[in-house]
Structure 1
Amino acid sequence: MKNKYTLCIAATATLMWSACHNTQKQDQAPPATPVNVITAQKSDAVYYDNYQGAVTALNSVELRSQVGGFITGIFFKEGDVVTKGTPLYEIDRRKYVDAYQQAKANLSSAKANLSKAEKDVARYNMLLKNDAVARQTVDQATAAFETNKSQVEAAQAALSSAATDLSYATIKAPFTGRIGISQVKLGSQITPGSTLLNTISSGNPIGVDIVVNEQDINRFYKIQSNSTDSTFRLQLPDGSIYSKGGKLFAIDRGVNDQTGTIKVRVEFPNSNDVLKDGMSCVLQVLNDDSGNRIQIPYKAVTEQMGEFFVFVAKDTIAEERKVVLGPRIQSNVIITNGLETGEKVITEGFQRLRNGGKITLGPPPSAQGAVK
């Protein structure tokens, strides 16, 4: 009986010691987490918003003939720049030359008849004064004169029309631009107004069209009245940046009621013919928030359900802070809200932290292991 009592006391003492030991362990604070920090500082941040764009000629025309016939001459090299007024195509001119010459002869004949009628009127009026001719004869001569005058006017109109048709037989460049591949060959028959001969488009300057959301309209109206050479940049299909800046050329007259978007056109100089009509590109528009902004390493940011956070070192305590991100600039990111200049942002070791956790400055364990 005495032995059982002794064993009971020993077991109770063992349990009490174990409980006290565990309580002591729980009372001990967890060790501080070693972290690395950087000081949030402002620096120049110039960044752009990207819009998918397409290069477009500011002036482009499809060449079609206004008279019919067969192509008898092609006077250009496909793909070359042609100057305004340069002959490009010739349609068989023979019948138009003949029509012009006939109209010219008809005009000469009508003028001769008018001259004779004018003299008849003058002569009959003189005879009428001496009662040597009947009034009816004078009236008939006057009517003949008016008829011949109308015939002269009609002949002049016919001559002008024939001259116009003759001029249309030679198709000239309406403006200076680059001409494409011919759609017809020598000997092809042309139907007036329907047969496409070629397309010519201006190349310098040239435009870039983008489509923007209606919420951004005011932004572009502001740019229209206050822009600089650095407002617009152009990224080419190979990823390089075009060497020359652009300026806003036009904003479309209204919003597309189906998509809620509006077209904006930006003009770029193109003296070296780098930009081609129809080329795809990315138009970069200077962001309004560019300037002296806080930047921190992007690796210091964590994301939780679409929101972004960083840990800020407050003496020996880590404070979780919600931030608003701007664009990324290489390995850094712009902070538009949530941080102040001079605050210490934890860049390494925060993966093991919670809000209010204790920290100590120094490389985290993984970094220490790497150093060893």
Structure 2
Amino acid sequence: MGKAIFKTGLFVSGVVLFAACGPKKAPEQPKAPPATVAVYEVKSERAVYYDNFPATITPLNQVDLKAQVTGYITGVYFTDGQHVRKGQKLYDIDRQQYQANYEQAVANLNVAKSAQAKAQQDADRYNDLLKQDAIARQKVDYALADLQSAKMQVAAAQANVSRVSNDLRFSSIYAPFDGTIGISQAKIGTLVTANANVLNTVSSDNPMAVDISVDQKEVPRFIQLQQHPGLGTDSTFTLQLPDNSVYSKTGRITLIDRAVDPQTGTIKTRLVFENDGRLKPGMSINVRAKNNNEGQFILAPYKAVVEQMGEYFVFVVRDSSKVSQTKVTLGTRINDKIIIKDGLKEGDKVVSEGVQKLKEGTVVNTGAKQ
């Protein structure tokens, strides 16, 4: 009996020891209070906005003036940056020398014609004598050969006259159209080479072309504006100049390129604007295209939008005050708001402040509404 009692006591002691050495239960952490955020109730609003397109100003006509003959510049008949008229003389290149060459060529042609006339007379006379058997046949053959040679000399002289006539004409350079001429790259006394030297550039200055690249999704809209110009007369197209001022003149579409660039998915579109003197070729500006689909749009605060890996999301407050991360398709930004093309409906409540502390399913306290 005593031995049995000793074993039982040993077992109880082991249980107590095991219980004392077991893991302790961690104390429960207090739950974090819901994040306090501001929400905005989405509604349909009327909006007038502009799409912005980077653009470059381009002259409707532009020509590089090149020398077509070799020689020294002997005359400059304009001031750099001057407005020139079509047909106005701009440069002379060794004009007197080419005039002398032309006169010499004409004189050589006259000599060749005189030699041909003499050869013709000799051939006619020898032919008459041959009919009377008064001259050897060989003599007649020589006369006919001389006549043929004289004719070839006339043809060569005539070709030379044509060549030097062109040189004489090209020794003076004239304005191809009305426009503005730039800074001359050659002064009086400069030696220029035919088809090698650009002497200057003339470009038309009124009106001016403005080229933009339009996304292929927008092609139907721009074709409609081109086919119905009346749609574009109410300031549909305006310019934002480099100093951020808005140009007072409005423009219209004149052409849409024949094909979409497969690399960019855009198509070149050209607008024309009247120039008050502020539009210069090569200037980088923005075209503001008024969206003709005026009406009701779903708008949300721009600061409510979160970007992740090139996609855009907002946090929508659902039942039980939990937020759901919702993907949206963005439209044009209008001041502090942005058009939501897809992803939201009227009445949705989106978090407008405090989005940085949220994730899917976070419980929020909508302490403030906008």
TM normalised by structure 1 equals: 0.70
For 1:277 and 1:299, locate their aligned partners in 2 and report how far apart those are by CA, in whole Å: 36
What residue number does 1:331 align with? Answer: 336
Deviation digits for residues 61-103 of structure 1 (CA, Å, limit 9, x no counterpart) = 3322222333221111211222232210112322211111111
1:121 matched to 2:123: yes
Residue 355 (structure 1) shift: 7.1
Asked whether the 8 Å contact 2:208–2:275 carries over to 1, the reply is: no
What residue number does 2:188 align with? Answer: 186
Asked whether the 8 Å contact 2:302–2:333 carries over to 1, the reply is: no
Residue 156 (structure 1) shift: 0.8
CA-based RMSD: 4.1
1:247 to 224, 245, 253: 253
- Percentage of pairs with the same residue: 36
For 1:72 and 1:38, locate their aligned partners in 2 and report how far apart those are by CA, in whole Å: 77
For 2:37 and 2:77, locate their aligned partners in 1 and report how far apart those are by CA, in whole Å: 80
Change in Cα spacing, 1:174 to 1:108, as seen in structure 2 (3 Å) is same
Asked whether the 8 Å contact 1:78–1:182 carries over to 2, the reply is: yes
What residue number does 1:75 align with? Answer: 77
For 2:259 and 2:323, locate their aligned partners in 1 and report how far apart those are by CA, in whole Å: 51
Asked whether the 8 Å contact 1:209–1:263 carries over to 2, the reply is: no
Change in Cα spacing, 1:45 to 1:339, as seen in structure 2 (3 Å) is farther
Residue 38 (structure 1) shift: 5.4
What residue number does 1:64 align with? Answer: 66
Residue 112 (structure 1) shift: 1.6
What residue number does 1:280 align with? Answer: 284
Asked whether the 8 Å contact 1:82–1:178 carries over to 2, the reply is: yes
What residue number does 1:84 align with? Answer: 86
Change in Cα spacing, 1:265 to 1:140, as seen in structure 2 (3 Å) is farther
Q: Which runs of 5+ in 1 are unaligned?
A: 1-25, 368-372
For 1:262 and 1:309, locate their aligned partners in 2 and report how far apart those are by CA, in whole Å: 29
TM normalised by structure 2 equals: 0.70
Deviation digits for residues 98-149 of structure 1 (CA, Å, limit 9, x no counterpart) = 1111111111111122222222222222222222222222222222221111
1:264 matched to 2:268: yes
* Bigger mean CA deviation after superposition, 52-61 or 92-101: 52-61
For 1:37 and 1:161, locate their aligned partners in 2 and report how far apart those are by CA, in whole Å: 81
For 1:237 and 1:176, locate their aligned partners in 2 and report how far apart those are by CA, in whole Å: 27
1:174 to 148, 173, 176: 176
Deviation digits for residues 177-227 of structure 1 (CA, Å, limit 9, x no counterpart) = 321011222233333333432222233443444567xxx4x3365466443
For 1:159 and 1:326, locate their aligned partners in 2 and report how far apart those are by CA, in whole Å: 69
Change in Cα spacing, 1:68 to 1:271, as seen in structure 2 (3 Å) is same
1:219-230, aligned counterparts within 5 Å? Answer: 219=217, 222=220, 225-228=223-226, 229=232
For 1:38 and 1:56, locate their aligned partners in 2 and report how far apart those are by CA, in whole Å: 46
1:14-33, aligned counterparts within 5 Å? Answer: none
- Three-state SS of the structure 2 residue aligned to 1:227 is helix
Residue 265 (structure 1) shift: 5.1
1:236 to 235, 241, 250: 241
For 2:303 and 2:198, locate their aligned partners in 1 and report how far apart those are by CA, in whole Å: 61
Residue 320 (structure 1) shift: 5.4
Deviation digits for residues 15-41 of structure 1 (CA, Å, limit 9, x no counterpart) = xxxxxxxxxxx9xxx99x998865612
For 2:188 and 2:136, locate their aligned partners in 1 and report how far apart those are by CA, in whole Å: 66
For 1:300 and 1:269, locate their aligned partners in 2 and report how far apart those are by CA, in whole Å: 37
For 2:218 and 2:305, locate their aligned partners in 1 and report how far apart those are by CA, in whole Å: 34
Change in Cα spacing, 1:181 to 1:131, as seen in structure 2 (3 Å) is same
Change in Cα spacing, 1:64 to 1:358, as seen in structure 2 (3 Å) is closer
Asked whether the 8 Å contact 2:210–2:273 carries over to 1, the reply is: no
Asked whether the 8 Å contact 1:295–1:334 carries over to 2, the reply is: yes
Displaced runs of 4 or more, over 6 A: 33-37, 316-319, 346-359
1:40 to 36, 40, 43: 43
Asked whether the 8 Å contact 1:117–1:148 carries over to 2, the reply is: yes
Q: Which runs of 5+ in 2 are unaligned?
A: 1-30, 227-231
For 1:304 and 1:279, locate their aligned partners in 2 and report how far apart those are by CA, in whole Å: 33
Residue 301 (structure 1) shift: 2.6
- Three-state SS of the structure 2 residue aligned to 1:96 is helix
Aligned length: 324
For 1:253 and 1:364, locate their aligned partners in 2 and report how far apart those are by CA, in whole Å: 52
- Three-state SS of the structure 1 residue aligned to 2:90 is strand
Asked whether the 8 Å contact 1:312–1:321 carries over to 2, the reply is: no
1:294 to 280, 292, 297: 297
Asked whether the 8 Å contact 1:299–1:347 carries over to 2, the reply is: no
Asked whether the 8 Å contact 2:298–2:345 carries over to 1, the reply is: no
For 2:198 and 2:336, locate their aligned partners in 1 and report how far apart those are by CA, in whole Å: 54
Asked whether the 8 Å contact 1:204–1:271 carries over to 2, the reply is: yes
- Three-state SS of the structure 1 residue aligned to 2:251 is coil
